[in-house]
Chain A
Amino acid sequence: MLTKRIIPCLDIKDGRTVKGVNFVDLRDAGDPVELAEIYANEGADELVFLDITATEQKRRTLAELVMHVAEKVNIPFTVGGGISSVEDVDLLLNSGADKVSINSSAVKNPQLINDLAAKFGSQCVVVAIDAKKINGEWMVHLVGGKVPTDIKLFEWAKEVEERGAGEILFTSMNHDGTKNGFANEALAYLSELVNIPIIASGGAGNMQHFADTFIEGKADAALAASVFHFKEIEIVDLKKELKKKNIPVRL
């Protein structure tokens, strides 16, 4: 049986992890490769690296990082953040990334989804969507949720599927950072609307939240950052807890 996936997300700047991490056993708290290896050994099913570097060296440092991760880590990983062309993706996949995630660039140029799916296959194209519920309507936001658009979440989700996205990573801006649980109502609707896997993001605070997003939210995978980085939740404990609730996980 296909299992539900648990995905830690690492924010990267200039090849280093940002945001604090609370791993006493880390030799170098800013080394994404070391952190990735630890998560892989603890039972993470996949990893996401979100690059927030804004410098001109970005492409090269990110490709180098991807190469180092691929060298050490034996589980799949996705790279996102500022990817806007077929060339960007070619470089990252050739460096060893399994998937790329595109967000604002897909909204600005939806054809990019078609181009990436045709060249590399849908399986490596994750479209990340940040949305916020405004006056009862889920609206897509750009630039890490800062810039509103007039695009509706569900219409956009349907479009990205039709254009060839292999997965959708949905982050609720209403829930992100609250630690009050995922946006399960919207997630469940999304999961019925499209026939590609949905990764839930934003709101993880405790183990029950993960169980809820898999059952009520019908999510295929759940992504979180700080609850893992600060050891508030250990991945192996989380998976044991989910298994007790009859949620299929890889243990």
Chain B
Amino acid sequence: MKIVIINYGAGNIQSIKFAIKRLGFDAILTDNEEEIRSADKVIFPGVGEASSAMEMLKATGLDKVIPTLKQPVLGICLGMQLMCKYCEEGNTEGLNIFDVDVIKFDGTEKVPQIGWNQIENLKSNLFKGIKEKEYMYLVHSFYVPLNEESIATTNYGIKYASALKEKNFYGVQFHPEKSSKAGAQILQNFLEL
């Protein structure tokens, strides 16, 4: 199986690479279009600020490539947010794969949300073997409101979408690569899709 992690300069890519390695696979870090198109599975990471991450993505031309991919694609954290229509952070136009806007927490609870919170209303093979209300590690200030593409929800002051699916595209707000055994199971599930 050929697994590619899209490398566009944004994010903690080592952690994802190591998490895949712990599952017994080697992932390739690349920004090369042909490499990405020929992969069986594509992981789209992202940590940091939305507008600068989007700029880096545009600089590589990958903003045009990602929405046309046919194999399973998993966006993680900011990666997922950039797959949405629009991010309030930095007034950023997204890739418009998920038909929803990303907005900021209103400050009722502390911002950023940092730590382990529960995922529930699980609706996808991505969560095979994962129990309702399993804990995942999250670090974010912006969130995706509940919408038709939600496949998991989380409560933080409000209930929001912590995972999304549209056709072959999956997005998770949490960090499976940092979420202990349950997180590893979700990555394993993605590789088996």
- Chain A residues with a Cβ under 8 A of chain B: 1-5, 40, 45, 67, 70-72, 74-76, 93-98, 118-124, 166-167, 195-197, 220-221, 250
Contacts and interface: CB of A to CB of B under 8 A. Distances in A.
A196 B107 CA distance: 10
Contact of A197 (B12, B114, B177): B114
Contact of B48 (A5, A74, A121, A195): A121
Given A74-B180, A98-B15, A122-B141, A221 B115 contact: yes
A74 B183 contact: yes
Given A76-B137, A93-B12, 16 more contacts: A2-B113, A2-B115, A2-B117, A70-B14, A74-B177, A74-B178, A74-B179, A74-B183, A96-B14, A98-B178, A121-B49, A123-B139, A166-B112, A166-B114, A195-B107, A221-B115
B176 to A, nearest CB: 9
A118 B49 contact: yes
Interface in B144-192: 155-156, 175, 177-181, 183-184
Interface of B: 12, 14-15, 18-19, 21-22, 47-49, 107, 109-118, 135, 137, 139-141, 155-156, 175, 177-181, 183-184
B110 A220 contact: yes
B18 A96 contact: yes
Given A120-B47, A123-B139, A95 B14 contact: yes
21 contacts: A1-B117, A1-B118, A2-B109, A3-B115, A5-B115, A45-B115, A70-B15, A74-B19, A75-B180, A96-B14, A96-B18, A98-B15, A118-B49, A120-B47, A122-B112, A123-B47, A123-B112, A123-B114, A167-B114, A195-B107, A196-B112
Contacts of A4: 115
Contacts of A97: 12
Contacts of B47: 120-121, 123-124
Nearest to B117: A2
Contacts of B111: 195-196
A94 to B, nearest CB: 7
Contacts of B12: 93, 96-98
Contact of A123 (B14, B117, B141, B156): B141
Contacts of B118: 1
A186 B20 CA distance: 42
B116 A250 contact: yes
Contacts of A167: 114
Contacts of B178: 74-76, 98
A110 to B, nearest CB: 20
A120 B56 CA distance: 13
